Structure 1
Amino acid sequence: MKRPPLLPCLPGYNFDSKIGQTKFNRSQQFDKIHDGVYYLSEKLKSGIGGESSPFTRPSRYPSIYPRGEDQVLPPWLAFDGQRLMFKAYFQETVQERWEASFQIRVVTISFFLEDGTIKVSEPAVDNSGLEQGVLIRRQRIPMPDPVRYRFYDILDLNVGKEPEFFGRVYKIVDCDKFTRRFLNRIGIPVPDPIDIPTDPYIERRKTEIFPKKPNRKIDSLGKFLKFDRKILRFYGYWDDTESEHGVIHDLEIHYYLADDTIEIKEHVPPNSGRDTGFMFLRRMKIPKFFSRIEPIGAEDPFTMLNVLGENNSKSYYVVDPLDTGRLSRDYYKDNDLIIGAQISVFGRKVVITDLDDFTKKYYSQKYGLDDFTPLERADVKKDKTTCYSVEKIIPPYNGFGSYDDSLGNCFTVTPQAPKVDFVKFYYHDKQGFDSHVLRFRAKMISNIPENSERHFIIRVYLMDDTVSVFELAPRNSGFKRCLFQKRMPVMLPGQNIYTNKKPKYYVPSDFYVGARVNLCGFHFQLTSADIYALRYMELHCDKFPKSNIKLIMEKLRKALKPIYKDFIRDYSPAPMEGDMQIWEYKKLREALCKYLGDNITEQEMITIARHYSSHEKKDFYSREYVRRLVHTELTRFLWDDLDRLTEAIHHWDRSRSGYLPRSELYTILRGCRIPIDIELLNSMLDHLHKNNEGLIDCCDLLRFMNTKIDPVTPVLPVNVKTALWWASEKEPDCGAGMDWCTFLKDLDLKDDENDESFTSAYNASEVKEK
């Protein structure tokens, strides 16, 4: 039954609104997506019988912007996690306080866009006496209207409005930046913020907690946080020459900006006769005017008048708020310290002569000073302060023990073992199959016929330059196959060892094929060397000049230049099939002995024969295979730090040339902890491109190690410690023959046309005769 709202509720004024209605079903709340699948619909639903529901809210408000063609998302998905924040307050009546009848409480109103719910929370205030926090939990808040099912929405919340939530009126005064932008975009203007009225109770509390007297404690925390670990350093001196046996003291003054304290240290020279410590004055404040030592408690910030109480645990102190009789003292500050200033350190006159760079920058920025010329010390008696180094006189060697052992006993009373060169030990100790031991075959040189036929093996240990000799005695020779000389450093012959100068010893470069050595009175001639020794000396030709092919070819070039035609005529080999001409090793030996004589050694001949061997020299592993091994190791250890390696190379390459020595690149790669073995690392450096000076191309190194650009197929991991070791490569036999054409090309003596014509004519005649 319904009636018009303006008619009285009397018989005859009511009528049935459902007269003639034929549909009485309720509308469905679920829609059908497809067969068998239903979902809860958010569309507007009609009431019973299809009539409009009086309490159905519209799904959305009209917008000033036209709706696009994109699919409209539901609000719980489009506005997920978004809310509008409003700042508001409400006035609460207080009956318990006579001085303030109300109080202002500030709250935050949150409107959640996804479902239209509202939450009201009050931020915590210290010592408020109220239970603050969430005042209204998140929910939909109905409006105080006679119409039911009407809730607060986005249009009801704005700056200046006064919504009523459950009987309490809130005044909205401000909103956050997101809320203001969101409302403006949907066409709702937002007024400017409104000031919150003052709370009389809060104002009264501020007056009560305000101190009745000023705080006498100086707050130094801010200065400490600003100037902590910032120290001004000054250099000066204290002239004490007027006193008996006085000297000029070199001082270093430290001024701490955090608390204006000063610390003074003294630079006591060695052997000055003064056994005092380096601390001249501990860290403290230095007064400008000093007359006497103040009693204990004079520097206390409070003046105590009396102690009240029954005992120590229940007593309190009465201090003098006026500090009657307290004398103010002036201390040195940073504006008193400058070059040329003279400060009084408890009666001692200290003159400042110089500053450090940080102090100069500080005074330049704060005080605008730019002249920091150091001050020279006046009246300095150099004969009293200058110390001279005295050379230690070492007694001569007496022959007991080794020289280093006897020398150590000259400096200390307690005997100590000689120090070992651990750096040399680290680089030249045995590393896997690399023994760092050079082995030579030698025979004894003696006037006794039996001794001249004895053969030995001489080992040279690179880690400490020691030498051992082992005898190879055949059967029924009358000699025993045993250790002839133990491992020990051997002195050079012909020097007086009983002096205070350290004697000289044999070094590895003194041993080469053809050399004659005197080991403890026995003369030996080195006749041959093993493959390891020859290859090691060739790889380290800077330490072994007899294996340096560049120096040897330079010696040959100077010796053969005047007789080059005779050399070509007498020793040119016969041509063979192809372009290569083979020169026998005995011809090389004969020619070098003829033209150079004693100026060339057997070691240098072997080096030439090995370098120009006729055997084809192939790389043990190709560049591509080594690159595949490197990429396999980098991928296996998940290495991806190429940017750091590039930065390190740019740091070392200060000239920006793009080339670095092998030693520096080795240091960089080891410092960046590249996860590859040393043998593989050395093999990679051997295959990189180099310039004429022998420097390695850094760009080629980065391209070689880049696993993303131009990747290669991985290979099966191998034992690189043995597979890539340089001594495991097969060496060519130097006695088979030499490449004559390559030898003449490197000799580089074909400068004039006569030589070329002579050589070509000679070769043509030889071919014609054959």
Structure 2
Amino acid sequence: MAGLPKLPGFSFNDPTLTKFHLSQTFDIVNGYKQPRTQYMGIGGRELDSNSVKHIHKSDPVRYDPSLTYGRCKSKPYPPFRPHFALYDQKCLTFKAFFKQSVVESPFEFYRVRPVNIIYFLEDDSISVMEPRVINSGLLQGKIVRRGHIPKYDDGSFWHWKDLQVGKDLAFYGTVYHTVDCDLFTREYMASQGIDMGEPEEMPYDPYTYHRQLQVIPKVTKTPPADDKLRRFLEFDGKVLKFKAAWDDRENEYGELMKFEILYFLADDTVLVKNVQQENSGRDPCAVLLRKTKLPKIYTDTPVTYPAIYLEKSDHEVTEYYQPRDFLVGNTIFVLGRDMLLYDCDKFTRDYYKNALCIEQKPALQLEEKEIPTPPVQVPPHDGLGSLEDSLQNTLTFLTKTPKKDVAKQLINANKFLRYQMIMDAAHPEDTIRKFILSYSLADGTCTIQEPPIKNSGILGGKYLRSTLLVKPNTDPLNPELYTPGDFYIGAIINVFSQRFIITGADLYVYRYMQENFSKFSCEVIDNIRNWMFRQGYLKGDLDDLVKDNFESKKDFEETIDERKLTDLEKCLRETVGDVEDDKVKQQKMLQEYEDSIKHTYKVPPHGIVPVQMECPYPVYTGEPKDLTCKEDVEGKYTSYTPKHIDTPEEVTEKYYRGVLQEQQEVCDGRYPIQCTDTPPREKEREERSGPIMTSPEDIPPGSCRIKKKSVRFEDHCTKDRNDLCDLKTEKTHCDCTDYCP
């Protein structure tokens, strides 16, 4: 195909040819380009012009005799190499020194500083380097930067022909004296016809020589044949733990201190830890001896050893403690402290038994005499500040505020128990004053407010700020405070030597007692409940209780009846009903309710206390109401909810209460009463003595532990100022004549 004419359609490509790059004409040798003697074609293929195939046999011009007779040997010409390639990385090195004067120093006057002068043949540049010396205190290294150094002012530079051993060279004002050169420099100079002189001795620096004399030569010892890596892999994390005690009670202020000694098997080091004891008075230092090797004889050191500023090393210590030295019952010395080993852990006992065939002794008992703690002497209160602050300041050196019950404050925030009080006064003008006591459930403080009274001259307002009320005749350092359990109707409260009598309470007080009945006694709960009932605050509770009892009984009876009836009887009962059973059930429930509200104890008689002063006007109370029930109960009650019926005692009490309120102004003398004859229909009443109030009843124990919304009646005894005769002269009785029926 190569012989075909190159016409359109007659050109063919060789599919075996894949490389078409041009061959390089230079080779890079030591960083420099060298021309190639043989050239290759495209893709590295041989050129046709260099092939023997293109030489005709009869061509005398291209006939090569070497093909027949062989080539003759001739010396090859060296290739041309430029100057920068020929002397690349070739330097002439001379050893020299220069003297530097030292002023204001009593130990030296000058210093000899050795340097190396390096001459680069590549570009005829020179550099001066000072070798570094440890702890010389000088900035050593490159002194003269590489470059052409001027020789004279005419512009000439230093050349390698000017360098010689034993010659002074002035570089930038500093004179360097050469003393020697290296072997390459001598051979190169000899090849150029310059003979280097004999090397000179480098002078010594006096100050450096003086310091070298002071350095103690190091003495080395052959280390023991111990494979530390094997010990680390085998014993890492394995520690022998001992309990030790140091008895220092023979010295002043000494004591028996306990420590923990840890022996690390990986590197034979010892760590001593402090065992912190409460209220020991010592600084909380965790470690007595850090992890280090513990010498047996601490004082066995050479006399000339500078122990003031150097620590001991393995060369000064003859022997260290080994595991065989740590036995329970033995005494070891920890840097001058004799410590008794009195116990060890289970791993330590097993290690000594299995590895060393040593049986550790049982633990020793260290008996310490317990010193009785003297009782804390609380200083008396000086009257400044509150008692809580004074007691808190005696507990700690730094003053702190007393701790408060935060949970109690959050739960009982803005919750107060309010009571109405009157003053147990000795002056008549104080009898009309009334006070309101507010007890805070959050912090137990009490606040007393006095409502103002118009046209009385009493302004009212805050009587007592929020404070803790202390009961009289209690320990001043541990006082007993008033609590809600001490507040009830008729209770006498002593507020800073002023007596108050509680006459009323808020309904929230009774609700709080129901929720927290365990905090109050039975008498206090009954007292508040009865007073609330007399005031009519528990009417809704009574209605709810009666309704709940009725509904519960009704549901219970219906469930029992439904269990006994068949399906047919249930259907007939739902359609027809049993009217007679409903009436019987209604009468039964009504009778049970009346029986439940009747008094089961004897009510004390009512009467008036005899007084000294006589009343000029007789008082007639009249006849009490008829207690006979005249209403048709069966026709009135159409539902199962019964109506409350007053008992004879309650009717009598209500009647006398109305008489007292109507006849209040009799003894005042403002409105005289005209006495009339007793109507003939009034019955004679027996004369009774005593005040219109009852004495406290005998309450059986546990009588107040009843369910919520339950009511228990008692004699309604109150020390009310609205008695029949109130002359405002006494606090406990009335001055009037006997009661006139």
The interval holding the TM-score normalised by the smaller chain is 0.3 to 0.5
TM-score, normalised via structure 1 length: 0.36
